[in-house]
Structure formats: C-alpha cells, structure tokens
Amino acid sequence: MTPIYRLATPADAAALAAIYAPYVRDTVVTFETEVPDAGEFAQRIARIGAAYPWLLAELGGEAVGYAYASEYRTRRAYRWSVEVTVYLADAARRRGIGRGLYARLFELLRAQGYVNAYGVVTLPNAASVGLHEAMGFAPIGVHRHTGYKHGAWHDVGWWQRVLREPPSPPDEPLPFAHLDAAIVRQSLIG
C-alpha cells in the first residue's frame, strides 16, 4: 500500500492526537507530560498551519503519521530557521513514511524561503537519530540533563539541515497560508 501525503486540517485532530498520545504517556521522545486532546490538537494545527506546513500521511485512508515545522526561536533574526518534528504510528515505522513526510516538508519550507531546519531528539533514540541523519541532518550539539520525565533526567541532541544556501540579503519567509496552491500540490505528490 502506497502512502498518501496531504495537508493536515483541524478535522484530523483526533487521529493525530491518537498517534501522539503514546509518545506522551509511554516515552521520553516528547517532554510533554499531559496528553493533549483533539480540541487542543485542532488549535495547534490551525495556529501552526497558518505560518508553517503541517503534513499528514495516510495508509488505506487512515492517518499513520504527521510532520510539521514551527518557529525555531522568537527573536526576529532567527526567522529564516524552523524546528521540524515527525511522529509515526506503529504501523508506519520502518516503511519510509517518515522520510516521505520530511522530504515533502523540506520542499515546502524551501519554497517559503527558509534556510535551516533543526531537529531536537531526546537521547538515546536510535530510530530518530537515524531518520534525521538519513535526511541530511548533521549533529550540532547535546544539551545535558535537559528534561526530567518518567523518573529520570534526559539529554537532548540537536541536528541541523541546511534547506538552501543563505541569500544575502534574504527575502522575508512567506507564510504557509500564502504559498501558491500549485506549489503545495506538487510538493505533496513528491
């Protein structure tokens, strides 16, 4: 079965919250400690999706993964960089779906004018490190004892992927909601 990639909408919130919930409850992959409900997820998709891409992967009509970009830092000089995230349901792991989501996400981010993407990984996490490095990310540092969850302190690794050469001077990044629909459709096809 071939995955279908499309934009996530607030109507997908319950399915995406269900994918995310085990990561919150059972792992240290995310430092979020309370499982967000569908209403909270719908708000996140709407808020983040206006400025950045939020993508969804489906298999057989069922959501099995998602990826999105978000603001890297709040200070204005950082505005050409983004943080990126991908989460997969068990059924989607080791099938190339994470790579498919990231490849499409990066294409859209380049079209918006972004220069760098940063991935943040709680360590150890061989699967996430492998995905990020397979997608062209390079390790740039480790923050020691950054988060406390499930009774232990955890390190966080940072990875960077250059999306395009930094222009000088750069044009302002284009909000995702203003990106040409044809570019979005073409990027989702892959």
SS3 readout for 102-166: HHHHHHHHHHHCCCEEEEEEEECCHHHHHHHHHCCCEEEEEEEEEEEECCEEEEEEEEEEECCCC
Grade residue 21 by pLDDT with cuts at 50, 70 and 90: very high
Round the average pLDDT of the chain to a whole number and report it. 97
Span 51-95, pLDDT tens digits: 999 999 999 999 999 999 999 999 999 999 999 999 999 989 999
* Structural domains for the chain: 4-189 (3.40.630.30)
